[in-house]
């Protein structure tokens, strides 16, 4: 298993929609293990393949919510949600991203979500949750659609995020960080 570098906002691979997985083999299984290893090293809740520069439609999640530990993976996910709020989110409803390290912004998400897809063998899988798990499922499927959570921000939060991107000079491709190695990035 390998901890992989995580791409930082500004890299075009993060805004390129993922390609459906068509080959279910040992290499895919090893890649998913690398995603879990990277997620653990980064102390995150979810990680999509394109965040480590891989174009395949797969993500992993590992988090603790009110229902306990939720851990798994979904290949070729399709998302369904309850209503998504269109108004300014509660200022305490913060969301972060391993590809936007160290930053948190109020982000409106549906309270409930379900993702359907397949597992490593190509067998059907469905993951459903509310609250934190629902947020994670929406966040990771957004990644695979080529969308960062920053794209969902509204009003002053969107303006603040744009200023932050310019200030950090995250406008050039190829920037990344390695969990467990790059100081100050693990708190993302």
Over residues 12-70, the pLDDT tens digits come to 999 999 999 999 999 999 999 999 999 999 999 999 999 999 999 999 999 999 899 99
111 among the known binding-site residues?
no
Predicted pLDDT at 81: 95
Largest pairwise CA distance in the chain: 46
Which residues fall within 8 angstroms of residue 106, CB to CB, at 6 or more apart?
Answer: 88, 89, 90, 91, 92, 93, 94, 95, 153, 157
185 confidence band (pLDDT: 50, 70, 90): low
**Per-residue pLDDT tens digits for 127-166:** 999 999 999 999 999 999 999 999 999 999 999 999 999 9
| Active-site option among 95, 103, 128, 140 | 140
Predicted pLDDT at 184: 55
Respond yes or no: is residue 80 known to be catalytic. no
DSSP string, 6-66: EE-TT-GGGGSPPBPP---SHHHHHHHHHHHHHHHHHT-SEEEGGGGT--BSEEEEEEEET
**Per-residue pLDDT tens digits for 74-120:** 999 999 998 888 778 888 889 999 999 999 999 999 999 999 999 99
Any idea where the domains of the chain sit in the sequence?
6-177
CATH homologous superfamily of 6-177 equals Peptide deformylase (3.90.45.10)
Residue of 84, 91, 34, 94 lying closest to 58 (CA atoms): 34
pTM beyond 0.85, yes or no: yes
């Amino acid at each position: 298993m390998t901890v992989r570098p995580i791409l930082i906002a500004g890299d075009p691979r993060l805004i390129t929609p993922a390609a459906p997985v068509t080959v279910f083999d040992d290499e895919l299984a090893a890649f998913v293990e690398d995603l879990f290893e990277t997620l653990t090293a980064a102390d995150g809740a979810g990680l999509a393949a394109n965040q480590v520069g891989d174009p395949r439609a797969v993500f992993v999640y590992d988090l603790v919510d009110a229902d306990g530990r939720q851990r798994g993976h979904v290949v070729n996910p399709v998302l369904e949600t309850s209503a998504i709020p269109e108004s300014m989110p509660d200022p305490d409803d913060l969301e972060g991203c391993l590809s936007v390290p160290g930053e948190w912004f109020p982000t409106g998400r549906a309270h409930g979500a379900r993702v359907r897809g397949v597992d490593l063998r190509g067998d059907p899988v469905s993951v459903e949750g509310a609250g934190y798990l629902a947020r994670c499922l929406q966040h990771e499927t957004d990644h695979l659609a080529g969308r960062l959570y920053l794209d969902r921000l509204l009003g002053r939060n969107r303006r603040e995020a744009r200023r932050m991107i310019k200030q950090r000079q995250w406008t050039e491709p190829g920037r990344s960080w390695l969990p467990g190695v790059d100081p100050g990035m693990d708190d993302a």
